[in-house]
Amino acid sequence: MALLKMVQAAAAAAMIAGVSVPAHAQQALTVEAVVAGCASGSDCAALVNAYLATVPAARRVAAIANLGARLAEIPGAGANVARGIQAAAAYSPDAGQRAQLASLASTLSADAGGLDIETAASES
């Protein structure tokens, strides 16, 4: 288990740095790894893009809803996480979901607080 987490962290770091990563390492990137990377201050949009690039189109709406909700739960989420949510919105084929994610990103970047995460990120 620890080895898998190390591979995920290395793949995420390499993707952020713009290094080409083998396909099997890219597939190891999980929602948990994206959330952890965003929470630690890594380039959230790059992590989200790397993760969603591996999600099949048929599962993308559900994956984006889950990812958006998890990102919004990051304590002190701000502009970096908002950019990650905007990146997720760009992948969504659902106009309603894109609008909800844009609203969520706007709220997070303004650091308004009092956010109803369940409603804002996963009603689609």
CA distance to 2, 30, 61, per residue, from 7 (Å): 9, 11, 26
Q: Is the pLDDT of residue 63 over 90?
A: yes
Q: Rounded CA gap, 59 and 117, in Å?
A: 21
Pick from 43, 30, 55: which is nearest to 84 by CA?
43
Q: Rounded CA gap, 2 and 66, in Å?
A: 24
Residue carrying structure tokens 């990103």: 105
Task: Please tell me the predicted confidence (pLDDT) of residue 120.
Answer: 46
Task: Please tell me the predicted confidence (pLDDT) of residue 42.
Answer: 94
List pLDDT tens digits, range 74-104. 988 889 999 999 999 999 999 999 999 999 9
Q: Rounded CA gap, 102 and 93, in Å?
A: 14
| Average pLDDT for 17-39 | 71
